[in-house]
């Protein structure tokens, strides 16, 4: 379960398990322009043998591959250096070890390897993990927070989209023990409809979703314990992280996450100090943009890109800090971050293949 070798010069072959969702489409779009990662195969049980461009018309003339003509992804083990799992929960938990044992690195875009112990996994998902022996070696894939661990990883648990935005917004305060451990953090966040996947239920269809904003999964959304677990890892040893409550909302947009995090700091922190701390914390991280006042994050400003836009404010009336983050849920919240993770574990510049200017308007 050690680290992978870092082939810095040659092109690295990539496979994708799960080819029928939006995350797979984003992976294909990004891999098509990556200078070092080369798509070797893509597996989809529902599109076996079909040309990729016939399923995703946006990739006509861009991706010439067809979905692998095999019935099970196991037949593809040993045929790629890096394997992305863009599958529903439970698939990677069963199948990722096969690819790991064949020598590949694995990046799982589902939630199967985000928790480092089976007890937490069982509590959140209500079932045992089929391969708990791999959980402790999985690295949580936010490069801005765990870059050193990722550099030696073979198995990456790609974070959820909501946790990515919220944790990036809160990390500078957590790492320096600047959060009051006795005051709960409130994370209120919105998501575009693509976050529900390419085959959503009735509530996500156009008639029910357009001109409508609604909360869901309150309380008990599975991203809440993910945020809490990682927040606990970010605070210094011997310190406690505040409890966290999470309120997600669905908005009538195709893409985007906007997270607003309200936290009480351990002491008064004026805007100037907060801004300087955030600038310093993210100075070496190219995909995080700390906005200058009076600018605030907006999802349109990051659409289609791997950027996370952050803003931080002190509210002197309530005595709280308001940390805000905007990301594209399919890029920095999924496929883009997965590619960024591979760049880091391969020892490449983490911007490779991701230098896409956001789409606006």
Count the neighbouring beta carbons within 10 Å of the beta carbon of residue 8.
10
Tokens of 140: 């949580």
3-state SS track over the chain: CCCCCCCCCCCEEEEEECCCCHHHHHHHHHHCCCCCEEEEEEECHHHCCCEHHHHCHHHCCCCCCECCCCCCHHHHCCCCCEEEECCCCCHHHHHHHHHHHCCCEEEECCCCCCCCCHHHHHHHHCCCCCCHHHHHHCEECCHHHHHHHHCCCCEEECCCHHHHHHHHHHHHHHHCCCECCCCCEEEEEEECHHHHCCCCCHHHCHHHHCCCCEECCCCCCCHHHHHHHHHHHHCCCCCCCCCEEEEEEECCCCCCEEEEEEECECCCCCHHHHHHHHHHHCCCCCCEEECCCCCCCCHHHHCCCCCEEEEEEEECCCCEEEEEEEECCCHHHHHHHHHHHHHHHCCCCCCCCCCCCCCCC
Task: Kindly report the backbone phi and psi dihedral angles of residue 157, in degrees, each rounded to the nearest multiple of 5, phi listed first.
Answer: -90, 100
Q: Which of 124, 161, 168, 334 is catalytic?
A: 161
Distance (Å) of CA 122 to CA 127, 219, 323 = 5, 18, 31
- Active-site annotation holds for 161: yes
Please check whether residue 213 is in contact with residue 250, taking contact to mean a CB–CB distance below 8 angstroms: yes
Cα–Cα distance for residue pair 135/156, rounded to 1 Å? 10
Tokens of 6: 């870092």
Count the neighbouring beta carbons within 10 Å of the beta carbon of residue 98.
18
Please list the active-site residues: 161
């Amino acid at each position: 379960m050690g680290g992978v070798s870092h082939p810095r010069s040659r092109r690295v072959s990539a496979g994708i398990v799960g080819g029928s969702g939006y995350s797979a489409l984003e992976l294909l779009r990004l891999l098509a322009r990556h200078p070092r990662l080369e798509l070797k195969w893509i597996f989809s049980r529902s599109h076996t043998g079909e040309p990729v461009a016939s399923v995703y018309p946006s990739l006509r003339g861009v991706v010439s591959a067809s979905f692998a003509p095999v019935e099970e992804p196991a037949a593809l083990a040993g045929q790629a250096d890096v394997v992305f799992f863009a599958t529903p929960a439970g698939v990677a938990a069963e199948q990722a070890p096969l690819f790991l044992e064949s020598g590949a690195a694995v990046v799982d875009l589902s939630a199967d390897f985000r928790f480092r112990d089976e007890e937490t996994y069982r509590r959140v998902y209500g079932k045992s993990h089929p391969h708990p022996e791999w959980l402790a070696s999985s690295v949580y894939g936010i490069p801005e927070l765990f870059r050193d661990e990722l550099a030696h990883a073979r198995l990456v648990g790609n974070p959820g989209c909501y946790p990515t935005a919220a944790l990036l917004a809160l990390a500078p305060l957590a790492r320096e023990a600047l959060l009051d451990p006795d005051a709960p953090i409130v994370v209120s966040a919105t998501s575009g409809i693509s976050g529900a996947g390419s085959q959503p239920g009735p509530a996500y269809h156009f008639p029910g979703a357009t001109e409508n904003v609604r909360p869901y999964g309150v309380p008990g959304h599975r991203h809440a314990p993910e945020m809490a677990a990682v927040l606990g890892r970010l605070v210094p040893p011997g310190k406690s992280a505040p409890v966290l409550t999470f309120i997600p909302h669905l908005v009538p947009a195709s893409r985007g996450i906007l997270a607003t995090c309200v936290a009480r700091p351990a002491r008064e922190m004026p805007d100037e100090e907060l801004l300087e701390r955030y600038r310093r914390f993210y100075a070496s991280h190219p995909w995080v943009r700390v906005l200058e006042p009076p600018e605030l994050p907006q999802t349109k400003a990051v659409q289609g890109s791997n950027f996370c836009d952050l803003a931080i404010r002190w509210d002197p009336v309530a005595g709280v800090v308001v940390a805000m983050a905007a990301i594209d849920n399919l890029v920095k919240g999924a496929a883009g971050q997965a590619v960024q993770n591979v760049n880091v574990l391969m020892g490449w510049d983490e911007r490779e293949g991701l230098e896409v200017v956001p789409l606006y308007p």
